[in-house]
Amino acid sequence: MKRQKRRVVQIGDVQIGGTAPISVQSMTNTDTRNVKETVTQIKQLEKAGCELVRIAIPDQSAASKVAQIKEEIDIPLIADIHFNYKLALEVLEQGVDGLRINPGNIGSEEKIELVANKALEYQVPIRVGVNAGSLEKELLQKHGHPTAEAMVESALGNIELLEKFGFEEIIISLKASDVMMTLKAYQLIIQEVDYPLHVGITEAGTIKSGTVKSAVGIGAILAQGLGDTIRVSLTGDPVEEVKVGFQILRALNLRDQGVNLISCPTCGRCEIDLVKIANRVEEEIGDLDKSIEVAVMGCVVNGPGEAREADLGIAGGKDVGLIFKKGEVIKKVSGQELVNELLIEIDKLE
């Protein structure tokens, strides 16, 4: 896998594109007008490692809260706006770091020009966010239904509008809930422009089904060397989006942030409740800011060997378990103390 190098766009202090790491972002599901609630959720996202956060701006009241929210958080803030160009102008005045708009639904070219000029003045990038479910009517009539080609045509038309007014600080996203349509759209857009790509599968589903669909879709796109920032869209706590995002990147060796947990599927040799133990380990180490690999294996016979590359691991036995490091047993402990002893050893690692 060779990552395609796209042009660089700066959102706050985060670079998108070029050789910058693929960033993980999320979106709040709070009422933006409730500053306290929104900031609390953003702080939770920050703790999980979120690098950019987007908030919905449905009206003037929400737009007026941007400066207050931005003052209390530590990551770049992106405003999500549809239909009303005045809201875009307001959040730019409020100091937002990025805009997500679809110029096609903002209104006349004059209105788009006002937004482009203001964003250029404040040096704020714009993400042209195309969703299969909200394509322009004329494109739906032309193509008959949402297609990858229609999404790309929409994106190129919107990009052309911004470029017409001298604006080129652009990021592109082409999202559908259909994985293969999304993949094809990204494959097509790279033949046309070199703007950085925001990758995601929109409306992916609940934590369980959405994680699977996002891992397949985002993973397939990233594995082709495409993508500069990602957002996993899940119905649930947005903190889970961030965790899944980093897991996808880690699985592809694109980021090494956080703990990579390995656990065996168990077999007839397993003498312990490995499911319970693995779940507890995952819960205990989930928020650790250490780039390590931890293995939870159910067999003292083969466990250390099968997970010999792990920084640390445990292999369970009915009465005695093993703590191992890089495949070498460093300690024997009672089965009841396996997890506690593992956590002690993890804490020792730099």
Domain ranges in the chain with CATH number 3.30.413.10: 260-348
How far is Cα 324 from Cα 330, in angstroms, rounded to an integer? 5
Query: Per residue in 304-341, pLDDT tens?
Result: 888 888 889 888 877 788 898 988 889 898 878 888 98
pLDDT averaged over the chain? 91
Q: Would you state the pLDDT for residue 137? A: 85
Query: Per residue in 93-125, pLDDT tens?
Result: 999 999 998 766 777 889 989 999 999 999 999
Q: Lowest-confidence range among 66-70, 218-222, 259-263? A: 259-263
Q: Would you state the pLDDT for residue 39? A: 98
Q: What is the DSSP string of 99-150?
A: EEE-GGGT-SHHHHHHHHHHHHHHT--EEEEEEGGG--HHHHHHHSS--HHH
Which DSSP symbol is given to 206?
A: B
Q: Lowest-confidence range among 56-60, 147-151, 298-302? A: 298-302
How far is Cα 213 from Cα 349, in angstroms, rounded to an integer? 34
Name the nearest CA neighbour of 300 among 319, 272, 282, 322. 322
Domain ranges in the chain with CATH number 3.20.20.20: 9-251
For residue 131, the cross-strand partners are: 175
Handedness of CA 163, 165, 168, 173 (dihedral sign): negative
Which CATH superfamily hosts domain 260-348?
A: Sulfite Reductase Hemoprotein, domain 1 (3.30.413.10)
Q: CATH number for 9-251: choose from 3.40.50.720, 3.20.20.20, 3.10.310.10, 3.40.630.30.
A: 3.20.20.20
Q: Would you state the pLDDT for residue 98? A: 97
